[in-house]
Structure 1
Amino acid sequence: MSAHHKINYIEIPVKDINLAKAFFSSVFGWQFIDYGPDYCAFDGVGIDGGFFSAKQAVSTVNGSVLVVLFSDDLIVTQGKIEESGGKIVQAIFSFPGGKRFHFTDPCGNEYAVWSDK
């Protein structure tokens, strides 16, 4: 399959790169490559991307794109998010095809987690 015109990379603003790295490493097992104090990259997580230092946070309330992660077990993932400093902002709900919930990371960015189980 050609990569031409496909989404290739995503960059996410974070208020604290070290806090974001610790959270995503703890909850989802992500690993990072640092490119100075204001940027780090991640790969092998479904789509490659990076975190960059910013004062803003992403939220659907503000019209932001929503990054949605997949989980084999929503309850376990939700627990890990809360244990690692994340906050559930929309409880688990059903939609055609599965269930999901929304959370914010410790930097205040909104994400969702879904499952077809």
Structure 2
Amino acid sequence: MTTSTTSDVITVLTAEQLFCVIKRFPRVWFSLISTNPYVCYEVPVPSEAVSFDHDNGWPTICARTDIEQFVAVSCDRYQCKVDFYDNDIVNLEATPLTNGDNEYPNISISVTQYF
């Protein structure tokens, strides 16, 4: 009898570690949430369009979208909520951290096994 397990983990990844994880998924979502008024902008891009660079000394995860827009998040570390099923990542949501402070609470990068 095979037993499957699910688990949720909160961890901190460097920008380069996060980039390596999200490149394994077919699609990456960049999200920006405005609280006044409440609006959520989501920009899904194919993982092939996502790149890693250094912008003014900051590690940057960026992508060019289908409609010729450019999205980028510059940060050295990300707080990540990772959902596992057995040993596979099912969902990951990453929020930028800077020097341990969450200076960008309205920005996130996410990937999922499900569409």
* TM-score w.r.t. length of structure 1: 0.33
Greater percentage in helix:
1
Greater percentage in strand:
2
